[in-house]
Structure 1
Amino acid sequence: MANSGYSGYTPEEITRHFLALVMMKYHEALFLLGLIKAPGHELQSPKLEEAAEVIDQLEALKIKTQGNLSLEERQTLDGLLTELRLSYLKIAKDWEKKKEEPETEKKIEKPLETDPEKRRFFKSYG
């Protein structure tokens, strides 16, 4: 490794490590939003407060690194933040609607959401 003032890391290695960190936090936020699942597990219900915290951490990272990011790093971070914010808003809105539904509707819909075989034959008229 050539010494370039970055503790022995090349600028390309720094970019790779930075983007890996950003992607790790991105996937953590997706998991907390209930959009992806851990290997071998079912999708979890959204944990909105925790997801917001991870999004805020990425925003803080963006602010603290302002002026020090390459175009690729800045575009990646901006794009992921935009996607996470929009996903958060949609899920928060959908989750709020689910909480407002009558208890009988929740009991009917939940099995259909978790059973893909039943879902395939379910037709929505509304």
Structure 2
Amino acid sequence: MGNQAESNRPCPDGKVRGADGKCVMPEVSFSTFILSLNTSALFHMGELPHPETGEKAVDLELARHSIDTLRMLQDKTRGNLEEDEKELLDNILYELKLRYVKIAGD
């Protein structure tokens, strides 16, 4: 019964439930890496709160660094991505650039 109750609780710190029901880090893939950089950029643009304090802070230099890293990955992987990976990267970069311009212009 203890295992059942434990498997119903949410996993902490970005972990997911594995096949055995235990909380584990998600599988490393190109898409999860891109999503991680996206989260970092959103956090530094003040779009996401700090997980421990709940506070939002803006650091445009770090946000720009995350966006530049994604752009570099886009350049270096051109022609080598699955269509869904390319689409994910293109869409994330587009959205982040729009948000960055809006925040930086305020």
Give the RMSD, CA atoms, in angstroms: 1.2
How far 1:46 moved relative to its partner?
A: 1.1
TM-score computed with the length of structure 1 as normaliser: 0.60
Higher relative contact order (CA 8 A, sep 6+): 2
**Match 1:78 to one of 80, 90, 104:** 90
Aligned to 1:18: 30
Report % sequence identity: 38
Please identify which structure carries the higher helix content.
Answer: 1
Which stretches in structure 2 are left out of the alignment for 5+ residues? Answer: 1-27
Partners of 2:100 and 2:46 lie apart in 1 by 10
Which stretches in structure 1 are left out of the alignment for 5+ residues? Answer: 1-15, 95-126
- Letter of the 1:49 counterpart: E
Deviation string for 1:83-118 (max 9, x for gaps)?
A: 000000011112xxxxxxxxxxxxxxxxxxxxxxxx
Partners of 1:58 and 1:18 lie apart in 2 by 11
Aligned to 1:49: 61
Aligned to 2:39: 27
Partners of 2:39 and 2:86 lie apart in 1 by 18
Partners of 1:88 and 1:63 lie apart in 2 by 20
TM-score computed with the length of structure 2 as normaliser: 0.70
Partners of 1:44 and 1:36 lie apart in 2 by 6
How far 1:42 moved relative to its partner?
A: 3.0
State how many pairs are aligned.
79
Aligned to 1:59: 71
Consecutive aligned runs of 4 or more in structure 1 exceeding 3 Å deviation? none
